[in-house]
């Protein structure tokens, strides 16, 4: 489910294939406080789209986006903890970030939170 959401997120906000220039643009946006850029850059690193696959960098950018109030970043970070992608698998950490996504009114975050909580 999280992999599908990541792909949808990338397509939703970009509409194009990523390239190295996109990574730089999203990095600048993220550094400037654009939480959607943080989510996109995290997704690029998570799946290796236009950049080398790097789970630690994905987590870094998802955390930055989530800390800035970006629900998609919180959702994806929760998914990484739920599935143990680049981090030690932790349901408690997954619930924390999925709960934040839900608090930020991201419906899929609420659904994933409730599903994992059971």
**Domains: count for the chain:** 1
Residue-wise pLDDT tens digits, 14-42? 544 546 678 899 999 999 999 999 999 99
Task: Name the residue range of residue 81's domain.
Answer: 2-11+18-117
pTM: 0.83
Q: What CATH number is attached to the domain comprising 56?
A: 1.25.40.10
- The Cα–Cα gap between 29 and 10 comes to 15
Residue in the block written with tokens 């654009």: 34
Residue-wise pLDDT tens digits, 90-111? 999 999 999 999 999 999 999 9
Q: Quote the DSSP letter at residue 104.
A: T
- The Cα–Cα gap between 68 and 51 comes to 23
């Amino acid at each position: 489910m999280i992999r599908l959401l990541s792909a949808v997120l990338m397509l939703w906000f970009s509409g194009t294939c990523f390239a190295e220039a996109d990574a730089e643009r999203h990095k600048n946006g993220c550094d400037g406080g654009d939480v959607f850029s943080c989510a996109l850059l995290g997704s690029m690193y998570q799946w290796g789209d236009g950049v080398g696959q790097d789970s630690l960098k994905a987590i870094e950018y998802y955390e930055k986006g989530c800390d800035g109030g970006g629900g998609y970043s919180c959702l994806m970070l929760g998914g990484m903890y739920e599935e143990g992608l680049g981090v030690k698998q932790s349901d408690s950490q997954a619930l924390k970030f999925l709960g934040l996504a839900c608090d930020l009114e991201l419906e899929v975050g609420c659904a994933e939170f409730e599903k994992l909580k059971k």
